[in-house]
Amino acid sequence: MSNEELVIVPVPSLVATLLQREREKGAPLTESEVLEIRDECPSIAMPVSVAAEVEAQRGYKDIDPEHCWAQWCQARVDLLKDK
């Protein structure tokens, strides 16, 4: 049995979920909407090393749930700049 620290990982990624929900809404998400989505998104507890492997396979770093509003505000600029 591993004593490695566990982290909570949203699945699918939080940034992908937020992007999809904003596109469905057709308008920018509010801070309260982002926090509600974060609180309700499916997540899995996994060892830190496994979470790093998931991130590497995904090819991008997800938003940190603890700082999701600030990180979403930045991510959406990058994701929607070509739109």
Which residues are CB-neighbours of 69 under 8 A, at least 6 positions away? 31, 34, 35
Give the integer Cα–Cα distance in Å for 65 and 9: 9
How does pLDDT run across 40-80, given as a tens digit for each residue?
A: 999 999 999 999 999 999 998 899 999 999 999 999 988 87
What pLDDT shows up at residue 3? 83
How confident is residue 82, by pLDDT bands cut at 50, 70 and 90?
A: low
Per the listing, tokens 């937020």 go with 18
pLDDT of residue 2: 67
Residue 12 has pLDDT above 70, yes or no: yes
How much is the pTM? Answer: 0.85
